[in-house]
Structure 1
């Protein structure tokens, strides 16, 4: 059986993260923090086992508190500003990667949706 190797990158291609295998979870989030992080109405993240990812390139970080009280550390490109991946303190065994950074229309769809009460009423699915 062939294991998928996927690579996500920022808009300029300088910051990359390679992920070996299938994501543990793909989730769509409508929280206000994800809306601000993406500049869109929601974010979509693929969670991979930490030992299955390798990041390359220069990154800057931004750490914030989540509503759970745990912290999340975001890694973004200092050149183009793309938020590529993040480390959720609550799940230290996982690395979350912005699904859009894979630029792959065949990427697995979200199996979980969070913060639906914050969903914009005109957003479907």
Structure 2
């Protein structure tokens, strides 16, 4: 599988290779701020499958999990692009709104639901975590094709 993405002004683009290891709604307070009040929705890809073109601006902070989280966004239009954490440097968390539509990606999990506002609607079919969920499985190491 592969996906493409772009910001609203076209200054940042991406090619995303492979299948996400998880797709999550995040209700932590910082994501609510990034999203303007609700959750962010994010597809977690192995870092080696993410190729970004263009200049990104970043903002880093210590998240409620205790990990340093870096948000990346287009400096021209402000479109959120991705996040990455010091706890999982082998992954990139790509904002679903950055990925070109149509696509087949939909959340499978809701995290940090303990921070969600009382009016939040969190679908029952999603796996729920009130705080930090377990880490997704690490990507399998690349293997060389067998000699011919």
Q: TM (normalized to structure 2)? A: 0.76
Deviation at 1:122, TM superposition (A): 3.2
Q: Distance in 2 between matches of 1:6 and 1:121?
A: 34
**Number of paired residues?**
122
Deviation at 1:108, TM superposition (A): 2.1
Which protein has greater RCO, CA pairs closer than 8 Å, 6+ apart?
Answer: 1
Structure 2 stretches lacking a partner, 5+ long: 124-148
Deviation at 1:118, TM superposition (A): 2.4
Q: Distance in 2 between matches of 1:14 and 1:116?
A: 33
Of Structure 1 and Structure 2, the greater strand share is in 1
The partner residue of 1:52 within 34, 49, 53 is 49
Conserved? CA contact 2:3–2:100, under 8 Å = no
Q: Distance in 2 between matches of 1:5 and 1:103?
A: 11
Deviation at 1:104, TM superposition (A): 2.4
Q: Which has the larger radius of gyration?
A: 2
Superposition misfits of 4+ residues, deviation over 6 angstroms:
none
Q: TM (normalized to structure 1)? A: 0.89
The partner residue of 1:91 within 88, 92, 99 is 88
Does residue 19 in structure 1 map to residue 27 in structure 2? no
Deviation at 1:79, TM superposition (A): 0.5
Superposed CA RMSD in Å reads 1.4
Q: Distance in 2 between matches of 1:6 and 1:40?
A: 27
Q: Corresponding residue for 2:73?
A: 76
